[in-house]
Amino acid sequence: MNLRMPLIAIGAVAALAAPAALAHRMWMIASSTSVSGTDNWVTVDAAVSNDLFFFDHQPIRVAPTVLQPDGTEGTVENHAVGKFRATFDVHLTQQGTYRIGVVNRGVFGSYQLNGERKMIPRGTTVDKLASVIPAGATDVQTAESVSRNEIYVTQGAPTTTVFKPTGKGIELVPVTHPNDLVVGEPATFQFLLDGKPAPDLFVTVIPGGIRYRDALKQQDLKTGADGKVSINWPDPGLYWVNVTPTRPREEGAGGPGMGAPGAGGPQGAGRPAGPPQRRVSYVTTVEVLAP
Amino acid sequence: MQIRLTGFTATAFGAGALAAGPAAAQTLDLTVTIPKLSVAEYHRPYVAMWLEKEGVAPRTIQIWYDVDKKGGEGTKWLRDVRQWWRTSGRSLSFPADGVSGATRAPGPQKLRLVGGRAGMPTLSPGNYTLIVEAAREVGGRELVRLPFAWNGNSATAAGKGSTELGGVSLTLKR
């Protein structure tokens, strides 16, 4: 009995640390992804929900960041976190492609203290790790989590400076630019894991508007040896693209901390006991236009 | 980055398509009919015209928009002339000399462009397509494609839209 406890508890924390990888989908959408002129604003909605892209569950509370075409950091304005969604504005004053993102870098795990297994608090960052583990703790088991949620907006012609990899977690490198997507032209994206092309990543593509149709229309793809994946866009509209190293859990298959048989993440039930595994994920929303 | 331009590589139109002498001035006569529409809220459409030739970057020859709005605000909706914006428009700066113009009223709109002047290149012989795209605020969007073969002497082409454009025709002469 005592032996099983830690495993279940670790699972619970992992779920809390990266909710997007589990039952709900994390997303951001911009009011426009491609704009003309020299001085525009875009508004972004940021939420977590099942139905794409309907905000009916939770907002994304983390403050987003903006990277401008010239590589400098931009400003997030009017950030407001509501009941179901967060919203904020970005002032576009440069020509080229902006990256708007939320990157969660945290650490999760547990330790043994006075004969009890204790969880590291949710939301702990690497630099704060030492302060949350009390003196006398033993058998400390931790792993890092890097979840990246990024969207791209282009004023004028698309540019690629914002895709310079940081080498942390999963990142997108455009072969096809994500602001240059049109029905009838397959797009190719390359995904890096810690800066290197990552084969065998699971790429899930789902068109928006789920509420008004019966079929999910999900595409389950995998990156090739060079980390590249080719995606077909059957219709114009917004598409949610989610990338994970492990098979994503089916929607609704168990709540937080419950392993989904046959589809569990690293902490799913039935996995061999061991230290918690690092979790990485990437998600973006792209807009596909009619030709 | 790879921008897909329906098979066109990014050579400048002028370089690949320029003919020899300025003596052989080409004139391109265009008629673009903007339909009179019976709608509650009417705004004149934004209209883009550009030339395509295999192996050459597309070349914008006209863009009609709210060119006189203060602060360049008229450029905000250029992206709604969607195919033009992706193919050629987004690489221009506005107003574009000899290319930008005001929106026009319903009816047949005639214009004459002279090769080698303003935005109009001098064309070397070959197969071209003139594309006319119209996008209207609170309305629709339509494209008419006019393929023509230029032999150095004369060429004509005509087409017709059904919603946002009426008859469109061209005559190219040397």
A157/A69 Cα distance (integer angstroms): 11
Q: What's the pLDDT at B23?
A: 53
| Nearest-angstrom CA–CA distance, B71 and A35 | 16
What pLDDT score does B71 carry? 84
Please check whether residue B4 lies inside any domain of the structure: no
Is residue B5 situated within a structural domain?
no
**Does residue B1 lie within any of the structural domains?**
no
Q: Is residue B123 part of a domain?
A: yes
Q: Looking at residue B119, what is its pLDDT? A: 87
Q: How far is A32 from chain B (nearest CA, A)?
A: 10
Helical spans, DSSP H, in A112-154: 129-132
Q: Are A201 and A243 spatial neighbours (Cβ–Cβ below 8 Å)?
A: yes
Q: Is residue B3 part of a domain?
A: no
Digit-by-digit pLDDT tens for chain A (291 residues) are 444 444 444 444 443 444 444 568 999 999 999 999 999 999 999 999 999 999 999 999 999 999 999 999 999 999 999 999 999 999 999 999 999 999 988 999 999 999 999 999 888 888 888 899 999 999 999 999 999 999 999 999 999 999 999 999 999 999 999 999 999 999 999 999 999 999 999 999 999 999 999 999 999 999 999 999 999 999 999 999 999 999 886 554 433 333 333 333 444 444 445 788 899 999 999 999 999
DSSP A86-135: EEEEEEE-SSEEEEEEEEEEEEEEEEEETTEEEEPPTT--GGGHHHHS-T
What is the structure's pLDDT at B24?
Answer: 65
Contact B116, B9 (CB under 8 A): no
Q: Which residues of A203-218 are buried (b: 16+ CB within 10 A; e: fewer)?
A: bbbbbbebeeeeeeee
Contact A45, A87 (CB under 8 A): yes
Contact state of B3 with A180 under an 8 Å Cβ cutoff:
yes
Least Cα distance to A173 among A154, A187, A182, A160 occurs for A160
Closest CA to A28 of A53, A10, A8, A51: A53
* Inside any domain, residue B49: yes
Question: What is the per-residue pLDDT for A214?
Answer: 95
**Which pLDDT value is given to residue A19?**
41
Whether A40 sits inside 8 A of B75 (CB atoms) is no
User: In chain B, which residues have their Cβ closer than 8 Å to the Cβ of A39?
Assistant: 71-72
Task: Specify the DSSP element, H or E, that contains A12.
Answer: helix A4-17
Is B145 within 8 Å of chain A by CB?
Answer: no
pLDDT for B12: 52
Number of domains in chain B: 1
Q: Considering the domain boundaries, does residue B169 fall inside one?
A: yes
Question: Where in the sequence is the domain holding B152, given as residue range(s)?
Answer: 10-173
d(Cα A165, Cα A172) in Å, to the nearest integer?
A: 8
Instruction: Check CB contact of A177 with chain B, cutoff 8 Å.
Output: yes
DSSP conformation letters of A223-241:
--TTSEEEE--SSSEEEEE
Let me know if residue B99 belongs to a domain.
Answer: yes
Instruction: Report which secondary-structure segment, H or E, holds B171.
Output: strand B167-173
**DSSP designation for A197:** E
CA B5-B10-B16 angle, to 5 degrees, is: 120
Chain CA centroid to CA A247, Å:
14
What are the structure tokens assigned to B107, written together?
């009816």
Predicted ipTM?
0.85
Contact B20, B114 (CB under 8 A): no
Q: Do A289 and B82 touch (CB under 8 A)?
A: yes
Reading chain B (174 residues) residue by residue, the pLDDT tens digits are 344 444 344 455 654 454 444 556 899 999 999 999 999 999 999 999 999 999 999 999 999 999 999 888 899 999 999 999 999 999 999 999 889 999 999 999 999 999 999 889 999 999 999 999 999 999 999 999 999 999 999 999 999 999 999 999 999 999
pTM beyond 0.90: no
Query: CB–CB of B72 and A37 under 8 A?
Result: yes
Residue pLDDT, tens place only, A137-147: 999 999 999 99
